[in-house]
Structure 1
Amino acid sequence: MGEVAERIVASADEGLARLLARADAHPDADLSQAYKGRRVADVLTHLHAWHLLLEGWLAEHAAGRVPAYPAAGYSWATLGDLNDALYAAHRPLAYGQAREALAASHGRVLTLVAAVDDAALASPDAVPWLGGDSLGAVAHECLGAHYAWGERVLDAAGVPA
Structure 2
Amino acid sequence: MPRPKIKKDLQELSNANFEKLNNYIDSFSQTEQEEDFPKGTMNRNIRDVLGHLHHWHLMFLDWYIVGMKGEKPHIPAKGYNWRTIPALNKEIHEKYSNLDLEEIKKRFNKSHSKIMKIIDGHTNEELFERKRYEWTGNNAMGAYAIGVLSSHYDWAYKIIRKAKK
TM over 0.5: yes
CA distance in 2, matches of 1:37, 1:113: 28
Note if 1:106 corresponds to 2:108. Answer: no
- Which residue type is aligned with residue 106 of structure 2? E
CA distance in 2, matches of 1:59, 1:37: 28
Aligned to 2:26: 24
Query: Contact 1:6–1:114 (CA<8 Å) still a contact in 2?
Result: no
Aligned to 2:93, what secondary structure does the other structure show? Answer: helix
- Which residue type is aligned with residue 47 of structure 2? A
Instruction: Give the drift of 1:28.
Output: 2.3
Greater relative contact order structure (CA < 8 Å, 6+ sep): 1
1:94-122 C-alpha deviation (Å, 9 max, x unpaired): 11111111000000111012212221211
C-alpha root-mean-square deviation of aligned residues, in Å? 1.7
Query: Contact 1:8–1:140 (CA<8 Å) still a contact in 2?
Result: yes
Alignment of 1:137-152 (within 5 A): 137-152=143-158
User: With structure 1 as the length reference, what TM-score do the two structures score?
Assistant: 0.89
Alignment of 1:8-157 (within 5 A): 8-26=10-28, 27-33=33-39, 35-36=41-42, 38-157=44-163
CA distance in 1, matches of 2:43, 2:77: 25
User: With structure 2 as the length reference, what TM-score do the two structures score?
Assistant: 0.87
Unaligned 5+ runs, structure 2 = none
- Which residue type is aligned with residue 67 of structure 1? P
CA distance in 1, matches of 2:133, 2:19: 30
CA distance in 2, matches of 1:47, 1:146: 7
Instruction: Give the drift of 1:29.
Output: 4.0
CA distance in 1, matches of 2:40, 2:125: 39
CA distance in 2, matches of 1:156, 1:98: 21
1:73-98 C-alpha deviation (Å, 9 max, x unpaired): 10001001111111111111111111
Query: Contact 1:120–1:135 (CA<8 Å) still a contact in 2?
Result: yes
Percent identity over paired residues = 24
- Structure 1 ranges of 4+ moved more than 6 A: none
Unaligned 5+ runs, structure 1 = none
CA distance in 1, matches of 2:108, 2:56: 10
CA distance in 1, matches of 2:59, 2:103: 19
- Which residue type is aligned with residue 37 of structure 2? L
